[in-house]
Every structure is written in structure tokens, then in C-alpha cells.
Amino acid sequence: MSGAEGKVVVITGASSGIGEATALLLAERGAKVVLGARGLDRLEALADRIIMPVPPLDDLRVEEWEEMIDINIKGVLYGIAAALPVFRKQGFGHFVNTASTAGYKTVPNQSVYSGTKFAVRAISEGLRQEAGDKLRVTIISPGFVRTDFVDAVTDPELRAQLAESREKFAIGPDAIARAIAFAIEQPADIDVNEIVIRPTAQG
């Protein structure tokens, strides 16, 4: 019997990429998956603003910064607010929050994105410390993953560079899904706090 069997797992961003791969894998392993995603049109519109690398700070895209903060930070907080009372009432639960390797290292043109991912790590670690011995918290920090974010980059030169890199060394979203499944499938007294997973060729 799989460690995921019978567990209820809520997955946001389940329409593609890591969310989709995670949903498929955990459902296959017997979990009951609850899926959420914005409409396709909304996803495509947001992809232009959220994907990395983002424009330099000199571009002063304040509205895009606010949207990134709303999704990457507030989205995690709202998820915690929705699930924490349920977890407390039932006496168990497991948060899995997606950060990024950008949450460890900031590089040019990723300042705001990187800042949001540092925040996800800080919030998740604080939650882990407050959670007590009945709740588990895992941070998944992926590197370069083979998803369709490259297609939404509007700068043709940058899009071509990213597409080339994606084809050379990006890992499939199923690798991230396996890491998430690993954390979820551990016995109740084991808390996998953080997993960093990236291509071997990523610097």
C-alpha cells in the first residue's frame, strides 16, 4: 500500500507543469486529489508577468511586482489560512509549498521573483516551527523545469535563449512530482522539511 493512498491532496496550479504532473502521480498512487487552477485565458495573461527571468528593476513594472507578490506570497498565505483550521480540527495535515532555487540565490533580472521565493521559504519555515507535532510542512524548491513558461516570454531573443536552455538541460515536471510524493508518503512521524531539486547541469 502506497503512503499516499487515501490521503486528500489539494493541488493548485493543476492545469499544467508541476501541478499537473503531481496530480497525475498522486492520483495514480491512490491519493484523492482536489485540483485548482485559474482559467486558461487567465493563466496565459499572467504568464507574461510572472515567469522568470523578469525584467530588470529599472523597468519599474510596479503592477507586475504587485501581481507576483499577490500570487507567490499571498497565494501561499491564503492556502495556509484555508487549510490550517481544517488540519487543526482533524489533528493532522501536510502543507507542501513550492518555492524555487531562486529562493536561495538572487541573480540579475530576478530580484522580485527571487524575493517572493525567499518569502515562501521563510513563511513555510515559520509555519513548520508553529505547527507542532501533528502537522507537517515541506518546501519544494525546483530549479529549471521543462514547462511552457518559456513560450510566454515576449522578448524573442530571450525566449529563444530560454527555449534552447530548456531543451538542453531542464528536468521534467514529473521529477518534481516524485519529490512531492516522496515527502507525502513518509510515515506520520517523519517531516521532510525541504527538497531542492534541479538539473545536474544547472549552475
* Segment 39-76, tens digit of pLDDT: 554 333 333 333 754 567 888 878 878 888 988 899 89
Confidence class of residue 182 from pLDDT cuts 50, 70 and 90? very high
pLDDT digits (tens, 9 = 90+) for 138-179: 999 998 888 776 666 666 777 787 788 788 888 888 999 999
Backbone dihedral region of 80: left (phi > 0), alpha (psi from -120 to 50 degrees) or beta?
A: alpha
Q: Report all structural domains of the chain as residue ranges with CATH numbers, in order of start.
A: 8-197 (3.40.50.720)
Q: Which of 21, 72, 94, 113 is catalytic?
A: 113
What gap in Å lies between CA 55 and CA 125, rounded to an integer? 29
Q: pTM for the complete prediction?
A: 0.75
Provide CB contacts within 8 A for 77, sequence distance 6+: 123
Verify whether residue 113 is a known catalytic residue: yes
